[in-house]
Amino acid sequence: MISQVLPYLQHGDIAGALTVALGFGIAIILGISLHEFAHAIVAYRLGDLTPLRDGRVTINPLAHFDMFGTLLILLVGFGYGRPVLVNPYNFRMDRRWGMALVAVAGPITNIIIAVVFGLALRVLLGVVQNGSSAPSEGLLMVIQIFAIIVSLNITLAIFNMIPFPPLDGSKVLLALLPGEMAYRVERFYISTQQFGLIVVMILFWFAGSFIGSLIAGPTNALFTLIVGQPLY
């Protein structure tokens, strides 16, 4: 986030810096807290009381933020929330499909956030485009904030569906694979899970631009679909 704010500060644009900071701040708070809450509530509904005992069945952001993960978001633009601990053997259904439902609930929630703010943004853009006078500075700030919230939540959803642990896509993949292949992939995931986050961070650090370019296309397509005009 700091890298997005600095250019505005360097040009003396305090209002622009404040707008971007507010946009990213709101997007991160909503995106991470509701994403993790979705994991917790689905696991709880499937019969696992672990998230409830850990105090995760709440929309309170303080319950879902990891200090180091949040610091990474602020400094390098990539981070994570506090993982929701789940015991799939408590589910009232097949554990792999249960974990897939718990996992996909997070990205779906990010898409729902994007749709809510995106539809509001579509209306605001229509007001600006059809207005007879120039829009106010306040309205332009709101439009930029909403655009950041929409784009960041779409990005979070797409990024989390990458099928590599600890990302949510890895749980979804296990449910979709046939038995023997699912077992082998699960063994691989278990053997690498203690290094999974480190691997993801290293890949993002050294190949962030490449990963970003892969995510940018789907992000822009979804943004255009929701808002009615492209992000870039």
* Whether the Cβ atoms of residue 95 and residue 174 lie closer than 8 Å to each other: no
- The residue annotated as part of the active site, out of 36, 137, 180, 186, is 36
Q: What is the pLDDT of residue 73?
A: 73
Of residues 72 and 142, the one with the higher pLDDT is 142
pTM of structure:
0.89
Tokens of 21: 């900071």
pLDDT > 90? residue 202:
no
pLDDT interval class at 209 (50, 70, 90): low
Q: How far out from the chain centre does Cα 18 lie?
A: 22
Higher pLDDT among residues 66 and 58, named by residue: 58
Q: Does 182 fall in a domain?
A: yes
pLDDT at 5 over 70: yes
| Confidence tier at 109 by pLDDT (50, 70, 90) | very high
Q: How many CB atoms lie within 10 A of CB 230?
A: 9
Let me know if residue 232 belongs to a domain: no
How many independent structural domains does the chain possess? Answer: 1
Whether the pLDDT of residue 207 is over 60: the answer is: no
Residue with tokens 């190949």: 207
Residue 189: pLDDT over 70? yes
Residues of the chain above pLDDT 90, percent: 56
Average pLDDT, the chain: 87
Q: Give me the helix-helix angle, 95-130 and 14-45, nearest 10°.
A: 150
Give residues with Cβ within 8 angstroms of 86, minimum separation 6: 39, 43, 48, 50, 51, 99, 102
Residue 218 lies in a domain: yes
Q: Is 186 a catalytic residue?
A: no
Encoded tokens for 93: 């259904």
Residues of the domain holding 147: 2-227
Q: 78 in a domain, yes or no? A: yes
Q: Which residues of 198-217 are buried (b: 16+ CB within 10 A; e: fewer)?
A: eebeeebeeeeeebeeebee
